[in-house]
Amino acid sequence: MKYCEMSKEQLQQELVQLQKEFEDLKARGLKLNMARGKPGKEQLDIVSDLLTILADPAECVDSGIDCRNYGELSGIPCAKKYFAELLDVKEDEVYVGGNASLTLMFDTITKAYTHGLLHSERPWCKEEKVKWLCPAPGYDRHFAITGCYGFEMITIPMTADGPDMDMVEELVKDPTVKGIWCVPKYSNPDGIIYSTETINRITNLKPAAPDFLVMWDNAYIIHEFEGEYVPFPDMISLCREAGNPDMVFEFASTSKVTLPGAGVAVMASSKENIKYMESILTVQTIGYDKLNQLRHVKYLKDKKTTLELMKKHADVLRPKFHAVLDALDSEIAPLGIAEWKRPKGGYFVSLNAMPGTAKRTLALAKEAGVVMTGAGATFPYGKDPQDSNIRIAPSLPPVAELKEAIAVLCICLRLAAVEKLLAD
Ligand SMILES: Cc1ncc(COP(=O)(O)O)c(C=O)c1O
């Protein structure tokens, strides 16, 4: 029976029952974590050969470049070739960096702030105001970057096709609106793939700011755990064809292909943008870890081999996502107190609890020993106006632990909902 159809007496009975179940859970002293999208140990073990693939000094060479030495700021040739194929862009549109795409994203925004972009009239630090579009729910670390530079972040609702483009098209008429965060494939946390129409409308934007920046974070470009690989359009070419050749910077990394924190990150943009960024980044570093780039290309080889590896990751991840969705389907769906997405890739399940109950649900979960991403984290400034969105990250715990954790979450969702209904 749906909670909203229950009488006050029925709700009170339910409350007593749930409180008892909750106390029993607490007494078990659980320590479970569904907070961040980290690969599980089994996934890290799959790629162990990466650690030993480059043992011979004679093999540390790519196109005559000794990868043990300084140089090659924008990446070694084989790494550029590898990532160009992966992202379906040209080799001279690729900049291969260090271990984290987040660093490249931070650097891009930082360069815009300190120096300006190719088409900036002035560095953004000299602008009276910078506004930034934040499709939400979205990735908390994106919002942390634009937040740390004091940009005014404007929430853009997510639809089943991606960001609400009517709103985006209207807002970019304001010249102080300088950019937008996008996770176009298996968005964090909703797992949405932007529709062709959404992509088309983004590429054809007519922003008033000449240096409007689309931060195209393709973190989950090859990360399906259900079904076959879904090819994705090359945003760099699309923007060029639409007459916005320098509007987009694309990012990706091998963090969830090989080893997070010890992978290789990549940035792609127009040739001119890459050249410009390189001219500033050259002050920052003489070069990234080329041995790791080489190690990765030797190990991952090409797109086909990489997609085969992703199938192995998928086999580990799929049962975890099913465990979450099965529990929600059986425990929560009949009660009508939450809705959730059913992603086919990425690292998250995005759940919308009854408005006004997300914070309480997660506080209860914490009390019962289950750590989750903080309530509000998926919105700019950490403030979910509905207090509803909960990001579930099923990848880290083994399936048995995950089942326990999700069972706890279900009890907490129910308890918070009953409390709210009785209070209203
Ligand atoms: C959308 C998105 N972008 C970037 C990252 C981090 O990527 P990297 O490890 O390359 O910094 C994550 C990690 O969860 C993510 O979800």
Tens of pLDDT, residues 91-117? 999 999 999 999 999 999 999 999 999
Rounded distance from Cα 251 to ligand 1 centre (Å): 9
pLDDT tens per residue, range 257-314 = 999 999 999 999 999 999 999 999 999 999 999 999 999 999 999 999 999 999 999 9
| Residue among 104, 106, 109, 141 whose CB has most ligand 1 atoms within 8 A, to mutate | 141
Residue 173 alpha carbon to ligand 1 centre in Å: 30
Q: Give the Cα separation of 197 and 233 in Å (integer).
A: 12
pLDDT of residue 213: 98
- Whole-model pTM above 0.85? yes
Report the residue count for the chain: 424
Domain limits, the chain: 3-44+307-423, 59-302
Residue type, 229: Y
Q: Top-level CATH class of 59-302?
A: alpha beta
Q: Is 183 in the pocket of ligand 1 (CB under 6 A)?
A: yes
Q: Does the pLDDT value for residue 196 go beyond 90?
A: yes
pLDDT > 90? residue 7:
yes
Q: Residue 217: CB within 6 Å of ligand 1?
A: yes
CATH number of 3-44+307-423: 3.90.1150.10
What tokens appear for 125 in the block?
A: 């630090």
pLDDT in tens, 362-417: 999 999 999 999 999 999 999 999 999 999 999 999 999 999 999 999 999 999 99
Give the Cα separation of 203 and 201 in Å (integer): 6
Rounded to an integer, the average pLDDT of 174-180 is 98
Q: 37: Cβ below 6 Å to ligand 1?
A: yes
State how far the Cα of 219 lies from the Cα of 58, in Å rounded to an integer. 33
Paired tokens of 51: 């650690």
Q: Quick count: other Cβ atoms within 10 Å of Cβ 51?
A: 13
* CA 172 – CA 149 distance, rounded (Å): 19
**Candidates 34, 105, 139, 183: which one to mutate for ligand 1, based on the most atoms within 8 Å of Cβ?**
139
Confirm or reject: Cβ of 155 under 6 Å from ligand 1. Answer: no
pLDDT reading at 199 higher than 90: yes
Mean pLDDT for the stretch of residues 77-95: 98
Start-to-end C-alpha separation, the chain: 19
Q: What is the 3-state secondary structure (H, E, C) of the chain?
A: CCHHHCCHHHHHHHHHHHHHHHHHHHHCCCCEEECCCCCCHHHHHHCHHHHCCCCCHHHCEECCEECCCCCCCCCCHHHHHHHHHHHCCCHHHEEECCCCHHHHHHHHHHHHHHCCCCCCCCCHHHCCCCEEEEEECCCHHHHHHHHHCCCEEEEEEEECCEECHHHHHHHCCCCCEEEEEECCCCCCCCCCCCCHHHHHHHHCCCCCCCCCEEEEECCCCCCECCCCCCCCCCHHHHHHHCCCCCCEEEEEECCCCCCCCCCCEEEECCHHHHHHHHHHHHHHCCCCCHHHHHHHHHHHCCHHHHHHHHHHHHHHHHHHHHHHHHHHHHHHHHHCCEEECCCCECCCEEEEECCCCHHHHHHHHHHCCEEECCCCCCCHHHCCCCCCEEEECCCCCCHHHHHHHHHHHHHHHHHHHHHHHHHC
